[in-house]
Chain A
């Protein structure tokens, strides 16, 4: 979805940047990556700072929208993992490329 929507908008995304935070593309990409990272981790001070950075970069409503998207994927990841959701065969090859770029083989679970 990220690659597809970015290409449609004239950008090429290095999916490795999702893991590293380096080489991100887009005006607000760095503050959003920091915020999304903080949402997914346990450091409350960093979350507060990252949240404020989004507000400062754009505004509070933008931060709320970003917080909601992050929350949605806290929901969707549990949905997908608990129900054994998998991609259709036609998407597996694309998934393999994406997974490699995002460093799946280096994760703890690496199922």
Chain B
């Protein structure tokens, strides 16, 4: 990466875990170079200048994933991220009705429950097929708040990995998990929402469904919206149809065109 945008060639931790072959997750190793066993390097193989705020927020998301969450350890969160990354990059993905844990692509070592393995893969690759009955079934096993945290990890992985692919860059390797127990952090008060299946920080339904969706897991909510601010626009600017990040940058309708097309391809019609 050219250094006019950011100084970001520091080494980070290494990817670990039993998923030692991308083929285990249905990924063609020849066609999909993003995941590597080498140290995290924000030094890109192509000469593409990336804004420093993007580099910083993506690196922060990776570090966040490696840290203990509210309900999952760092090792569990990195495992969720590995599965998500494999699902996103799979050239021959499992169909949504086949659980990764019951396939020959995954070796279950008990780091996360099989229900979490399967829903991680499905959200990462087939999110449009998640229904309320799926949600209810999964949360009976893993719990509502751990489920929300799992969703935050999967969606962050989608953001970071697809940005790099879109821009023609190598996705940084996943980080080494940090030690520590889950924090148990939660909002002072939770509420059932009319606009979401998941519980949210009280009071519910005072903001848009997507804005409140992750509020039951405060740290995941915060990092998600930091990503959104750098990748799309700061939330406080969304009411301004003329907002642009910089002169000669994307106009608001241009950004919305991209957003609408990606959402349409993902069959997400929120």
* Residue positions of A touching B, CB distance < 8 A: 1-2, 4-6, 8-9, 11, 13, 15, 18-19, 24-26, 28-29, 32-33, 35-37, 39-42, 44, 47-48, 51, 58-88, 95, 98-99, 102, 104, 107-111
Contacts and interface: CB of A to CB of B under 8 A. Distances in A.
Interface string B29-47: 0010000000000000000
Given A69-B255, A75-B227, A102-B264, A51 B167 contact: yes
B158 A74 contact: yes
Given A1-B238, A8-B252, A65-B250, 8 more contacts: A8-B242, A37-B265, A64-B51, A67-B163, A69-B250, A72-B231, A73-B259, A107-B267
A87 B270 contact: yes
B249 interface: yes
B262 to A, nearest CB: 4
Nearest to B127: A81
B123 A47 contact: no
Given A9-B251, A68-B54, A33 B270 contact: no
A73 to B, nearest CB: 4
B263 interface: yes
B189 interface: no
A36 B135 CA distance: 29
B40 to A, nearest CB: 18
B162 A5 contact: no
B196 A36 contact: no
SS class, residues of chain B in contact with chain A: helix
B213 A80 contact: yes
Contact of A83 (B31, B159, B168, B196): B196
Interface string B245-270: 10011111111111111111111111
Contacts of A78: 123-124, 127, 151, 154-155, 158
Interface string B63-83: 000000000000000000000
Interface string B169-198: 000000000000000000000000001111
29 contacts: A1-B256, A2-B260, A5-B251, A9-B241, A11-B253, A15-B260, A18-B264, A32-B254, A39-B165, A39-B166, A40-B266, A48-B168, A66-B250, A69-B258, A71-B166, A72-B228, A75-B155, A75-B156, A77-B127, A80-B209, A81-B266, A82-B130, A83-B209, A84-B135, A85-B210, A86-B209, A88-B195, A98-B269, A109-B128
